[in-house]
Structure 1
């Protein structure tokens, strides 16, 4: 299967290393106001989506749980409890610095990308990722790495923007194309960063394509649930 995210950035064709450098620069620029921008752009609905993700992850006592690309720790806080270990794995020091300041003791932060995580094979009970899979340099490599670190029977949950229902697609496209970059300029002072983030949503596989990529990557029990008319989607799979 052709990897739709490999080597591309916006409308340009660049190397994976250059794409990763640009992505890191985006999150370095917006880290301090990233959660605020998410609240404004989604009118707070992203927090409901993430609570649903945490509930469906169903964390259990004694589990080792990784929140990948979870820099600011908002999902990790929903997953955390004294009877389990929760680790945020993120490639952005700036985002993790924000997260460390907001998270209670007991949530760890480690540097790592979706394509190269510092965890042993078959070591993770549950791995979540929220609005980060579209920023990887290679979707196939990221899914392979997620599959590697999960234990047999381990759970993978991915919350990501997806393809909205046809009825709401025109208004959603207009909102994302014209309003969100201007909000990025107003609140975060980084319109170019939010233009990239919107472009990454447009390039990302839709519900069926991502589900098939997960199956191709070795996951079983693959399924998804749309939120807000398909604007966001929660995908789930299991390592056999």
Structure 2
């Protein structure tokens, strides 16, 4: 991932959780619960959360499974991981935190049952390489899940465009002091492939035997699920 993206996330790390809660009106908690449900996680599973940020998805998996299995949260941004570790060390000390580039994961083949990435895949340099890297470290038959912003459907599309284009950068900038980061959120989401276009990209990797997706909040977000090929 580029140094520009790394530096941007480093700057907003301290206000990241609070800003997300305000800007999503708390809906991101529902999206995360849906991701966990679609993962079909079971007791004893090994789980990798890439681009974990401050660790909310990894912590959600821990709350689901407890200390039964393995949970690793990885990110390329050390300030984010420092906050994740601080947030989890008292209640969830078994979660592992590791600096990783999602496009070139250091884990051995077939190390995990599930790998996830939430609102991070549009930030990598090469989406296909990231998908292949995640699929490589997941066992055949395991699941790779991507939670990412999309382009909303009518009738909410014009209202969402107004919100994401003007209101979101303004409020995000006020809370974080980094308006540019939240302008980037809008422009990167608008340009990123969504729905069937992203499914086609996943299928192109030939890493998955099956790919499906679910639209959330009228297309504001999507969850994509790839079953890792043998």
CA-CA distance at 1:150 after TM superposition? 1.2
Q: Distance in 2 between matches of 1:110 and 1:235?
A: 24
Aligned equivalent of 1:204: 192
SS in 2 for 1:59: coil
Q: Which runs of 5+ in 2 are unaligned?
A: none
CA-CA distance at 1:59 after TM superposition? 1.8
Match of 1:225 among 214, 218, 222: 214
Q: TM-score, normalised by structure 1?
A: 0.90
Q: How does 1:127-166 map to 2 (within 5 A)?
A: 127-166=115-154
Q: Distance in 2 between matches of 1:173 and 1:96?
A: 31
CA-CA distance at 1:138 after TM superposition? 0.6
Runs of 4+, deviation exceeding 2 Å: none
Q: Distance in 2 between matches of 1:110 and 1:154?
A: 21
Match of 1:82 among 58, 63, 67: 67
CA-CA distance at 1:63 after TM superposition? 1.7
Aligned equivalent of 2:101: 113
Q: How does 1:59-74 map to 2 (within 5 A)?
A: 59-74=41-56
Match of 2:81 among 85, 90, 96: 96
1:125 to 2:113 alignment: yes
CA-CA distance at 1:124 after TM superposition? 1.4
| Aligned residue-pair number | 222
Q: Distance in 2 between matches of 1:44 and 1:66?
A: 24
Q: TM-score, normalised by structure 2?
A: 0.93
Match of 1:55 among 34, 37, 40: 37
Aligned equivalent of 2:162: 174
Q: Distance in 1 between matches of 2:168 and 2:87?
A: 25
Contact kept in structure 1, 2:35 and 2:223, CA below 8 Å: yes
Query: What per-residue deviation string (whole Å, max 9, x for no partner) do you get for residues 9-51 of structure 1?
Result: xxxxxxxxxx610100111010011111111111000111001
Aligned equivalent of 1:5: none
Q: Which runs of 5+ in 1 are unaligned?
A: 1-18
Contact kept in structure 1, 2:23 and 2:172, CA below 8 Å: no
Aligned equivalent of 1:193: 181
Contact kept in structure 2, 1:89 and 1:117, CA below 8 Å: no
Contact kept in structure 2, 1:147 and 1:217, CA below 8 Å: no
Q: Distance in 2 between matches of 1:221 and 1:79?
A: 23
CA-CA distance at 1:192 after TM superposition? 0.9
SS in 1 for 2:218: helix
